[in-house]
Amino acid sequence: MKTLENLFDFPFNIFDPAGVQAGWLANLGWVLVVLMSVLIIGMAVLVVWGALRRRGRLEEHMPIDVDGGKGWILWGGVALPVTVLTSLFVVTVVTLNMLPGDREEPALAVKVTAHQWWWEVDYLYDDLPQRFSTANEIHIPVGQPVRIELISSDVIHSFWIPKLHGKIDAIPGHTNALIVEAEEPGVYRGECAEYCGVQHAHMRFVVVAQPPEEYQAWAARQREPAAPVTDPKLVKGREAFEGYACALCHSIRGTKARGQVAPDLTHFASRMTIGGIMPNTRARLQAWIVNAQALKPGVRMPTLEEFDGETLNALAAYLESLE
C-alpha cells in the first residue's frame, strides 16, 4: 500500500512546471514578473533621483503652459504604459488561446466531479466495461494529452494542479474541460482554489503521472472487482462492511455493497490518502471509520460507534486488502 507522510511534501510551485500547459503559464508568469520588476525598479530610481537631484531656482524651470514637463507626461504617462500593457495583453491572449490544448486527440478522458469535500474521478473509456472510478487521486500517462472534464455536484469549486495546469472552475450543471500533459513521472499536488465550505482547505487531491506501460497496468488492476477473501478475519471485515451503514454509501465491486453517494472503495488500499487529507495507514483508517467528523468536520460520513474493537480491526484489515 502506498503511503505518504504529508500531502504538502509534494511541490506546489507554479514557476517549476512539469507539464506542457503549466509551462506556457510559467512563461507568461515570468514575463509578468520581469516587466513589473523593470517598471518598479525604474519608478524607484526616478523617485530617488527626484528626491536627491539639485532643484535649482524657480525661474530655471519652464511652466506647464509653455510645454514644461510634457515629455515626462507623454513618454512616462502615456507611451510606456500603453506599450507595456498592450504587450502583456497580447502575450496573455496568445497563451490563453493555447491552453485548451484540444488540437490533439487526447489519449484519455477523465471526468472529475467535485463534491463537498472530495473529488470523484471517472475514467471515460469508449468501451463501457473498461470504465472505472476512483477518488481524490488521478492517474495519467506521461507524455500523452489527457482531457479532464469538470463538473460540481453542489457548489462552485476550483480545480488546480499548479505544476500541470492553471485553475478552472467546477460549476453545477455546467461542464468545463482542460487538457493536461505531464512531461515527467511524479506525484503532483492539487486542491480546490475557491472557497466551497467549511472543509475547503482540506479539499485536496493528487495527480500521479506514470510511464504509459505503468499506467496501463494500474488501470487494468482498477477495472477488476475486489478479490474474494477466505481469511476468517477478512471475511468478518467484509461482512461488517456489507452489514452496517458502509454499504449504503460506498460500493465495492464484487460484493453486496452498491452505495453511490460516497467514494468507490473497490481498490481503496492502492490509494495514497484517506479523505484526501492524511496518509492511508491502519491507525488513521480506524480513526476515520469511527469518527470522520473529528478529522474532517462537516464531512458527510457519519460517526460510527457501533463497532467493537475486534470488528473494527477486521473491517480495517479488509479495506487494507483491497489493492
User: pLDDT (tens digit, 9 = 90+) per residue, 263-308?
Assistant: 999 999 999 888 888 888 888 998 888 888 888 888 888 888 888 8
Together in a domain, 182 and 260 = no
Phi, psi of 226, deg, nearest 5 = -60, 140
Is 136 inside a domain boundary?
A: yes
* pLDDT for 86 beyond 60: yes
Together in a domain, 211 and 176 = yes
Burial of 147 (0-12, 13-18, 19+ CB in 10 A): buried
Is 62 inside a domain boundary?
A: no
Is 80 inside a domain boundary?
A: no
Residue with the bigger pLDDT between 127 and 64: it is 127
Residue with the bigger pLDDT between 78 and 218: it is 218
Is 88 inside a domain boundary?
A: no
Name 152's bridge partners: 114, 172
Together in a domain, 21 and 149 = yes
- At 3, is the pLDDT very low, low, confident or very high (cuts 50, 70, 90)? very low
Together in a domain, 116 and 165 = yes
Together in a domain, 213 and 241 = no
Q: What average pLDDT score do residues 204-230 get?
A: 92
**CA 116 to CA 10: how far, in whole Å?**
23
Final residue of a domain: which of 187, 218, 249?
Answer: 218
Phi, psi of 129, deg, nearest 5 = -65, -15
Residue listed under C-alpha cell 466531479: 113
CATH code for the domain of 21: 2.60.40.420
Is 84 inside a domain boundary?
A: no
Number of domains in the chain: 2
Is 64 inside a domain boundary?
A: no
- The three-class DSSP label of residue 321 is coil
H helical segments located in 172-226: 212-223
**CA 140 to CA 218: how far, in whole Å?**
10
Which of 4-13, 188-197, 210-219, 227-236 holds the top average pLDDT?
210-219
Strand 146-152 and strand 108-115: pairing? Answer: parallel
User: Which value, in Å, is the radius of gyration of the alpha carbons in the chain?
Assistant: 27
Range of the domain at 238: 232-320
Contact between 147 and 160 (Cβ < 8 Å): no
pLDDT value at residue 213: 94
Size (the chain), residues: 323
Query: Cell numbers at residue 81, please?
Result: 504604459
Percentage of the chain exceeding pLDDT 90 = 26
* pLDDT for 103 beyond 60: no
This prediction has a pTM of 0.80
Together in a domain, 160 and 207 = yes
Is 141 inside a domain boundary?
A: yes
Together in a domain, 135 and 207 = yes
Together in a domain, 110 and 147 = yes
Residue listed under C-alpha cell 473491517: 315
Together in a domain, 175 and 312 = no
Final residue of a domain: which of 188, 218, 248?
Answer: 218
Together in a domain, 258 and 141 = no
Mean pLDDT (the chain, rounded): 84
